[in-house]
Chains A and B, each alone.
Chain A
């Protein structure tokens, strides 16, 4: 028990911060309330540092995943926190700046930030999960606060409609994977992932187990916005304030992918004709899911005139890319074959570049609200000529979009390269073809953003288009966009870290299997250092 507590130190810190934020968020004094964001930031930073020094453990299924995922979540979480500045209580603050009295009872600041922290805690807990119930609670802790965050993110009715949609569909998703978990328990008689893995290893998956995992994966597909659970994405992102949409595009998705990793690692890639794939039924479901998710996401993005909807669909498509890594599996564990580490690394790349695009969008506003307050801009017309009117923002957008497109040598390309290499090494040729074709389709709409920002004349109305007054957002935008270049020299260590993160907790069955595979592979001489010597 106590060892487990040591593993969740970052979550404990985040939880304490949440409580503090909730309390100071209720203060009657305006200045105390304004401290919510700062306190949250300190909490996340401490959690991130603690995550790096997570003690070694053997109890988790993927021990390396814990520090990796939590550090990533804390890092991106800090950027998100910066980005979220100015989302909540806008009209209230405007009134305060105009010298009117602060009305504490109407402010939602405390709730908003504590929900944000709760959700981050949930994502981190997903990484630590070693048990189905834990995993369920963590996933829901990551998601439930987001429903409220969407609803209160803007005073518009659209946000509330989006939140209702999001909640209902989310509830359906949650019910589906909870039912799947129940069936898995029914099939194996335990909720511990490592025990489930051992039982499956000896007894096989069985019909109930297969159905359980299938339902669980389908339900969690909602979190990562994969087909057929992706429908909410554009509507909800559009309804939410842009920074909250950026949050939705990262946190629940990260939680979902961590859960996917854990569940598929529980089944193991030791099935199929060559003993290196998921069981047929699960593999087929994930394969179809990956192919459809990429394709539908990219194709639907083509028509959008709203950059926000475009980015929503693009985030769907990126989930499809990452699913390719899961279908491929770890191979022999080497860089070339490891689809899982490719997927984790892609999640990192996606976290930064996607945030960059959303953050720039969040920075562009126009002071045309009824009280002269800023209104979000989100159409392609609004970012036309951004490189001329606001060069820093414009180029941040261009960099982020090009990285999302996978333009070499930006970070997004490195991520995609690893996925493609793993896919081809793993023999998933057709899926890689689908991925590459989709990258080509994606070029059509990302380039519309890029060309609009760089080449076209600013929109006639853009005269009153201004940058946000919230410095935090701009910092978040510039930092995320810069990271797609700045992180390039560190790709090697980062990939190595993600490879360590997905190294399975050793059991005899798995180790012999991977040795057999590696003997047959000609690539071992290139890299056989990390997983083999564990």
Chain B
């Protein structure tokens, strides 16, 4: 498995090279990979149908439970077949569609990478593997949407899609990890087996919400649906593949995968069902108002995804069966229609459906494919789309609560489908030819093969649903339902309420289509509402973040050293002071020795020095005053019995003052650059910092008895441990021998340095004298 995966990666990266040698056959050659996967899946079918998923696992980070583990059950099989099957057709189609493009090789690379990641998503069993592939599909989708990267809109849409799905992905990651924490396993199959642990866990609700958020962004559910129409900037083969039949279904897949685990949560049906229904209605509404080929299809995809999510939200046997059927039916007709839309645009250079008609005679094969797919999408009789629509309506009507609302939503969704199907699949091919920027003609087999095969399957599965119900749909529905179940499909259910609604939807849909110009004008109010919709929220968030950044930069990052120091001191003093106050640790010391007169005098001197250092107008005066402070502190050391420390302090203080004088001599005079207010503020900050330090020192001194000086230890052990009576000698060569060694080394290195520096000067002196 790993080897196959690596080989696939190699193939993906070799695509540009293959293209250089194989030319126009590249698409066919590359399509061998997904075709091979498809055949392999067909071979696996009997096992999976018998309830034995195919498994593979390779440890990655053992202990944390991160592994590259995969399993293919019914759901993985269904999605795997769609991904590999449609993938093969799209690879071939891209050859015809983008044949002359100079970056076709790069396109194939990205598309193959996407295919691999998508297969990874639907087969992954480990949540980390799932997440890795999940994000990789977002990234490859980003690359594909931005394929024409010289166009600004393409780049913007690509980024928008990536940010929305990527951020949703982060929520998904958190949700999955919460589920893993609750159940103690990182494997999805294990988590499902331990779902009772999860259902009782306090983390259930956050986990559910986060996972749902991830699925909603990926599958373009309201209010995150806006990125999908933007993604239509991608070349049409990409739209057909990623944004209708595969990637956007990853969210649907995820929810289907979670149904056995989370489906029993109280929140599941109300939440997921509602999200799906709302999306279905909003998508249908927006779809009916579009005039461009791909946008019509994009919004109808949003609507269809909403329908799938709704069905999964319903759960139960009927919901699972309807969902599995809908996923298959939708992939078949929507993939075909997208490819048709691409062919039309490719042949006629026209995207506006109002200006297209009479293409049927010019592109007969495409027309047949388009019409069959369109009729399947609108739910006409012997086609597979009809069966799936019947099941959808039936499931909506049988929900335990709000059946009326869900039923109405489903009908609106169905109406939208009908309108779009007629506008894209039927109308452009009827009537007589209208002038288009280019005279259309039938493309080569690469262009018509895909749509016709997909359309033929729609017809075949409609007439003979028994072909797929046992091998494909039953295992898939069982995986969604969580318990093995049997799917039985038939074209004719008898005169049911669902059939009535289906007929109603077609009638209304045809009516809306006939009056479309008027309908669009009548409903133009919704544009104004739409202007404040989720797409605008995205802009607000985007701009708001930049505004916050601007304000923060102005306030915090001024570039002035003094401003930085100011904030640093204030926060340090504030945090420490707050801590002392809140813990009630600030207490006045109780036992103090009385202050002697000379001590008071010394302190006054130090304070005076500090004050002078701040107030002095001349720099040399300030340096001198600072020196006074330093010497005063040294005197305090003398008074309290630390003569060695005092000696050091004297030496350092003297050196500092001398250095200061040297340096300050070259600096300009002090000038007052700040206002009185600013100086008062600074003074307050300085005083509070000083007070805090003082308080801490007093507390520290009064808390514990001071410790015995180390000199006592040296004096006592000089003979016993160092065998010497001269304590200083013993310290130097024994107790602190390594220190002494270090000092000698420092001296030696310094000596070598001085010697080398002196040698550097020699030649120049020699030359000048």
Q: Are B174 and A232 in contact (CB under 8 A)?
A: no
Q: Are A186 and B181 in contact (CB under 8 A)?
A: no
Report how far A302 CA is from B563 CA in the complex, Å. Answer: 22
State which of A202-210, A357-365, A370-378 sits at the interface with chain B. Answer: A202-210
Picked from A28, A334, A420, the residue with its CB within 8 Å of the CB of B173 is A420
Q: Do A303 and B550 form a contact, CB below 8 Å, given A207-B699, A432-B174?
A: yes
In the complex, whether A183 has a CB less than 8 A from a CB of chain B is yes
For A260, the chain B residues whose CB sits under 8 A away are: none
For B738, the chain A residues whose CB sits under 8 A away are: 1, 5
Binary interface encoding of chain A residues 500-530 relative to chain B, with 1 for a CB under 8 A from any of its CBs, else 0 = 0000000000000000000000110111011
Q: Are A492 and B162 in contact (CB under 8 A)?
A: no
Q: Are A527 and B756 in contact (CB under 8 A)?
A: no
Binary interface encoding of chain A residues 6-45 relative to chain B, with 1 for a CB under 8 A from any of its CBs, else 0 = 0000000000000100110011100000000000000000
Expressed in whole angstroms, the minimum distance between the Cβ of B170 and any Cβ of chain A is 5
Binary interface encoding of chain B residues 160-190 relative to chain A, with 1 for a CB under 8 A from any of its CBs, else 0 = 0011001100110110011011001100000
- With a 10 A CB-CB cut-off, give which of A182, A210, A228, A523 has the most chain B CB atoms: A228
Picked from A23, A172, A440, the residue with its CB within 8 Å of the CB of B565 is A172
Expressed in whole angstroms, the minimum distance between the Cβ of A71 and any Cβ of chain B is 20
Binary interface encoding of chain B residues 626-665 relative to chain A, with 1 for a CB under 8 A from any of its CBs, else 0 = 0000000000000000000000000000000000000000
Question: Interface size class for chain A?
Answer: 35 or more
Of residues 1 through 51 on chain B, the ones whose CB sits less than 8 Å from some CB of chain A are none
Residue of B with least CB distance to A184:
B700
For B579, the chain A residues whose CB sits under 8 A away are: 210-211, 214, 281, 285
In the complex, whether B597 has a CB less than 8 A from a CB of chain A is no
Q: Are B62 and A22 in contact (CB under 8 A)?
A: no
Picked from B149, B206, B564, B576, the residue with its CB within 8 Å of the CB of A232 is B564
State which of A84-92, A119-127, A246-254, A449-457 sits at the interface with chain B. Answer: A449-457
State which of B131-139, B413-421, B428-436 sits at the interface with chain A. Answer: B131-139
> Which residues on A are within 8 Å of B, measured CB to CB?
1, 5, 19, 22-23, 26-28, 104-105, 164-165, 168-169, 172-173, 176, 179, 182-183, 186-187, 189, 206-208, 210-211, 214-215, 218, 228-229, 231-232, 234-235, 281, 285, 296, 299-300, 302-303, 334-336, 407-409, 413-414, 417-418, 420-421, 424-425, 429, 432-433, 436, 439-441, 443-444, 447, 451, 454-457, 489, 491-492, 495-496, 522-523, 525-527, 529-530
In the complex, whether B753 has a CB less than 8 A from a CB of chain A is yes
Picked from B565, B704, B749, B764, the residue with its CB within 8 Å of the CB of A169 is B565
Picked from A27, A231, A336, A456, the residue with its CB within 8 Å of the CB of B756 is A27
Q: Are A208 and B553 in contact (CB under 8 A)?
A: no
Q: Are B553 and A300 in contact (CB under 8 A)?
A: yes
In the complex, whether B611 has a CB less than 8 A from a CB of chain A is no
Q: Are B756 and A23 in contact (CB under 8 A)?
A: yes
A sample of 28 inter-chain contacts (CB < 8 A) reads A172-B568, A183-B700, A186-B701, A187-B700, A207-B583, A208-B585, A208-B696, A208-B699, A218-B576, A228-B568, A228-B571, A231-B556, A231-B563, A300-B549, A300-B553, A300-B557, A335-B61, A409-B136, A417-B66, A420-B174, A443-B166, A444-B545, A455-B149, A489-B60, A491-B66, A492-B59, A492-B66, A523-B181
Residue of A with least CB distance to B180:
A421
Binary interface encoding of chain B residues 745-769 relative to chain A, with 1 for a CB under 8 A from any of its CBs, else 0 = 1000100110011011101100000
Report how far A104 CA is from B738 CA in the complex, Å. Answer: 35
Report how far A23 CA is from B748 CA in the complex, Å. Answer: 11
Report how far A199 CA is from B756 CA in the complex, Å. Answer: 51
Q: Are B753 and A408 in contact (CB under 8 A)?
A: no
Residue of B with least CB distance to A179:
B693
- With a 10 A CB-CB cut-off, give which of A232, A409, A418 has the most chain B CB atoms: A409
Q: Are A281 and B693 in contact (CB under 8 A)?
A: no
In the complex, whether B588 has a CB less than 8 A from a CB of chain A is no
Residue of B with least CB distance to A15:
B745
Expressed in whole angstroms, the minimum distance between the Cβ of A404 and any Cβ of chain B is 14
Residue of B with least CB distance to A281:
B579
Q: Are B63 and A526 in contact (CB under 8 A)?
A: yes
Give 20 A-B pairs besides A206-B703, A218-B571, A414-B61 with Cβ atoms closer than 8 angstroms.
A22-B749, A207-B703, A208-B585, A210-B579, A211-B579, A214-B576, A281-B579, A303-B550, A334-B63, A335-B64, A336-B181, A408-B128, A408-B132, A418-B64, A424-B174, A443-B163, A456-B149, A492-B59, A526-B63, A530-B63
Q: Are A457 and B575 in contact (CB under 8 A)?
A: no
Q: Are A440 and B174 in contact (CB under 8 A)?
A: no
Q: How many A-B residue pairs have CB under 8 A?
A: 214
In the complex, whether B552 has a CB less than 8 A from a CB of chain A is yes
In the complex, whether B731 has a CB less than 8 A from a CB of chain A is no
Expressed in whole angstroms, the minimum distance between the Cβ of B464 and any Cβ of chain A is 42
For B699, the chain A residues whose CB sits under 8 A away are: 207-208, 211
Residue of A with least CB distance to B174:
A436
In the complex, whether B548 has a CB less than 8 A from a CB of chain A is yes
For A302, the chain B residues whose CB sits under 8 A away are: 545-546, 549
> Which residues on B are within 8 Å of A, measured CB to CB?
59-66, 128, 131-132, 135-136, 139, 146, 149-150, 155, 159, 162-163, 166-167, 170-171, 173-174, 177-178, 180-181, 184-185, 206, 542, 545-546, 548-550, 552-553, 556-557, 559, 561, 563-565, 567-569, 571-572, 575-576, 579-580, 582-583, 585-586, 693, 696, 699-701, 703-704, 707, 738, 745, 749, 752-753, 756-757, 759-761, 763-764
Report how far A495 CA is from B62 CA in the complex, Å. Answer: 10
Report how far A454 CA is from B704 CA in the complex, Å. Answer: 64
Residue of A with least CB distance to B564:
A231
For B64, the chain A residues whose CB sits under 8 A away are: 335-336, 418, 421, 495, 526-527
Q: Are A26 and B553 in contact (CB under 8 A)?
A: no
Residue of B with least CB distance to A206:
B703
Expressed in whole angstroms, the minimum distance between the Cβ of B78 and any Cβ of chain A is 25
Residue of A with least CB distance to B183:
A522
User: SS class of chain B's interface: helix, strand, loop or mixed?
Assistant: helix
Q: Are B184 and A417 in contact (CB under 8 A)?
A: no
Expressed in whole angstroms, the minimum distance between the Cβ of A431 and any Cβ of chain B is 12
Q: Are A421 and B561 in contact (CB under 8 A)?
A: no
Residue of B with least CB distance to A524:
B184
Report how far A335 CA is from B128 CA in the complex, Å. Answer: 15
Report how far A241 CA is from B571 CA in the complex, Å. Answer: 30
Q: Do A526 and B184 form a contact, CB below 8 Å, given A300-B549, A335-B64, A495-B61?
A: yes
Report how far A266 CA is from B557 CA in the complex, Å. Answer: 34
Q: Are A408 and B575 in contact (CB under 8 A)?
A: no
Expressed in whole angstroms, the minimum distance between the Cβ of A325 and any Cβ of chain B is 14
Picked from A5, A496, A523, the residue with its CB within 8 Å of the CB of B184 is A523
Report how far A525 CA is from B701 CA in the complex, Å. Answer: 50
Expressed in whole angstroms, the minimum distance between the Cβ of B665 and any Cβ of chain A is 18
Q: Are B696 and A183 in contact (CB under 8 A)?
A: yes
Q: Are B150 and A457 in contact (CB under 8 A)?
A: yes
Picked from B62, B170, B546, B701, the residue with its CB within 8 Å of the CB of A436 is B170
For B763, the chain A residues whose CB sits under 8 A away are: 28
Expressed in whole angstroms, the minimum distance between the Cβ of A424 and any Cβ of chain B is 5
Report how far A169 CA is from B553 CA in the complex, Å. Answer: 19
Residue of A with least CB distance to B759:
A28
For B180, the chain A residues whose CB sits under 8 A away are: 421
Q: Are B181 and A492 in contact (CB under 8 A)?
A: no
Q: Are B150 and A186 in contact (CB under 8 A)?
A: no
Residue of B with least CB distance to A235:
B559
Picked from A22, A215, A228, A299, the residue with its CB within 8 Å of the CB of B552 is A299
- With a 10 A CB-CB cut-off, give which of B149, B181, B542, B546 has the most chain A CB atoms: B181
Expressed in whole angstroms, the minimum distance between the Cβ of A519 and any Cβ of chain B is 14
Report how far A457 CA is from B583 CA in the complex, Å. Answer: 59
For B167, the chain A residues whose CB sits under 8 A away are: 440, 443
Closest 5 CB pairs of A and B: A207-B585, A26-B756, A455-B149, A186-B700, A231-B564
Q: Are A440 and B703 in contact (CB under 8 A)?
A: no
Q: Are B150 and A409 in contact (CB under 8 A)?
A: no
Q: Are B163 and A424 in contact (CB under 8 A)?
A: no
Expressed in whole angstroms, the minimum distance between the Cβ of A417 and any Cβ of chain B is 7
Q: Are B63 and A529 in contact (CB under 8 A)?
A: yes
Q: Do A104 and B760 form a contact, CB below 8 Å, given A421-B177, A492-B59?
A: yes
Residue of A with least CB distance to B168:
A440
